[in-house]
Amino acid sequence: MAVAADLIRHHPLLGRLTAEQILRFGQSGELENVQPGEDIVVEVTHGDALYLILSGRADVIVTPRAGAPPSLGHEGRRLASLVPGEFFGEMSLVEPAPRSATVRAIEPTEVFRLPNFALQNLLQDDPFAFNIVLVSVVRVLSARLRKTNEIVGSIGLLSEWLAGSLV
């Protein structure tokens, strides 16, 4: 599937792969076009693939749990917006668990879906390519965790300030 390889060639996650390795990736996955308002993946369903955003935009949404404040609304809370060059579904590579969020297209969006079994095959066929992709995923996860830590720290400072101002 040379068309998929042409489209994914410039995705940052695959930037350090050779043309041959990208072609192998392109043959292992599939392109999906998603319309605005359509869910690409749904929270609590089984995670089975890595997705690369090629065009468009999608929101990452978590739904309120029982007992959550009504301010979350019935649609849930947007955690992030994903744009071309970003990816999601990487948690399913590490842990076979239900998805932690829904990803919904906000505008016409094209994604490349790479099933976990295809990644496992890549590991066996080309461990070096798999390693390159895995290191790229870990770097992005590290940056996301760092940002989350900053947010949690800011919330902690705000709550301490509010508690102090109420005394």
Percent of the chain with pLDDT over 90: 44
Instruction: Please write the tens of the pLDDT for every residue from 103-128.
Output: 999 999 999 999 998 888 888 888 88
Mean pLDDT of 143-161: 76
Look at residue 99 in the predicted model and tell me its pLDDT: 93
Mean pLDDT of 54-60: 97
Question: May I ask the CATH class of domain 2-166?
Answer: mainly beta
Look at residue 68 in the predicted model and tell me its pLDDT: 53
pTM: 0.81
Look at residue 110 in the predicted model and tell me its pLDDT: 97
> What is the DSSP-derived secondary structure letter of residue 13?
G
From residue 91, how far is each of 88, 135, 137 by CA, in Å? 8, 14, 10
Please report the DSSP string for 23-35 in residue order.
HHHHHHSEEEEE-
